[in-house]
Amino acid sequence: WSKELIEAKARAEESDRMKSVFLATMSHEIRTPLNAIVGFSSLLTSAEISPEEREEYSAIISTNSELMLTLINDILDFSKIEASTFDIHPKKFDFKEICEEIYAVHTLKIPDHVRFSFNRDLPSVKLNSDPKRLTQVISNFLTNAIKFTSNGEIKLDYRLKENKIYVSVTDTGIGISEEACKNIFDRFVKLNAHKQGTGLGLSISKSIIEKLGGNIGVCSTLGKGSTFWFTLPLATNGVSDTR
């Protein structure tokens, strides 16, 4: 066989393997919240449960419904990336405003004993980019930070650095080993196999930022915390002013 045929065969086999991994992972991850939604919905119809139990069951259903929606969105985005139909829709917006919206939404999700901070005095930055996709990336960073931080602080921040905007989410969570950092943005990589999630969020985030012309990365120390970050070139994204 020629070298080209051998390489093509290897790529096809790897593609088949990844599809099998994808199906196995999704089957497990979808089944878990679905079982919770079905089970606790059935319990809600019982006349014997107390108001406190009803409130607790409703909260569990709500949490798992949100998780289910996240899983489905990740699967759809992953499929679009694989099919090269993943679209970006740029428009002019104030980046500070979407950070304030993200901060308000995630404040409700922060665990006890964790402080969540965002400096409201940061300058406004007008971008011509895709606010929905940037919200997706930052929300993914924050979701991971919340998942792995039980005390200390989570901080959302951005600053202008030369001709770029540098955006970061820093936490004082469990941290990531140097070895794990090398493939953290690969598909199906999960920091903790026991935590729910597709392992696609960071891979999708990488695709989004690269499609927007930026870079993405992580700095972490095991046991001390992590900083997930991305940069976008200001000129490419059409910054009109900062004030």
Nearest to 153 by CA among 116, 100, 99, 196: 116
Q: Which pLDDT score, from 0 to 100, does residue 77 have?
A: 85
End-to-end CA distance of the chain: 63
Q: What pLDDT tens digit does each residue of the chain (243 aa) get? A: 677 888 887 877 776 776 676 667 667 677 888 888 899 898 888 768 888 988 999 989 998 898 888 888 888 887 788 778 888 999 999 999 999 999 999 998 898 899 999 999 999 999 999 999 999 999 999 999 999 999 999 999 999 988 899 999 999 999 999 998 999 998 766 666 556 656 788 999 999 999 999 999 999 999 999 999 999 988 654 433 444
H helices within 83-130, ranges in order? 95-107
DSSP 124-167: PBEEEE-HHHHHHHHHHHHHHHHHT-SSEEEEEEEEEETTEEEE
Nearest to 144 by CA among 82, 74, 80, 210: 74
Distance in angstroms (rounded) separating the CA atoms of residues 29 and 84? 25
Q: Which pLDDT score, from 0 to 100, does residue 79 have?
A: 79
Query: Helix, strand, coil shares of the chain as percentages rounded to 5?
Result: 50, 20, 30
E-only strand ranges, the chain: 91-94, 114-118, 126-129, 152-161, 164-171, 215-221, 225-233
Q: Which pLDDT score, from 0 to 100, does residue 240 have?
A: 36
Burial readout 91-104 (b: 16 or more C-beta within 10 A, e: otherwise): eebebbebbeebbe
Query: How distant is the alpha carbon of residue 235 from its chain centre?
Result: 26
Q: Which pLDDT score, from 0 to 100, does residue 174 have?
A: 93
pTM score over 0.85: no
Query: How distant is the alpha carbon of residue 87 from its chain centre?
Result: 18
Q: Give pairs for 108-116: CB < 8 Å, separation 24+.
A: 109/143, 109/146, 110/146, 110/154, 111/146, 111/149, 111/150, 113/150, 113/151, 113/152, 114/146, 114/149, 114/150, 114/151, 114/152, 114/153, 114/154, 115/152, 115/153, 115/154, 116/153, 116/154, 116/155, 116/156
Q: Which pLDDT score, from 0 to 100, does residue 44 have?
A: 85
Orientation of helix 131-147 relative to helix 95-107, angle to 10° = 30
Q: Which pLDDT score, from 0 to 100, does residue 91 have?
A: 92
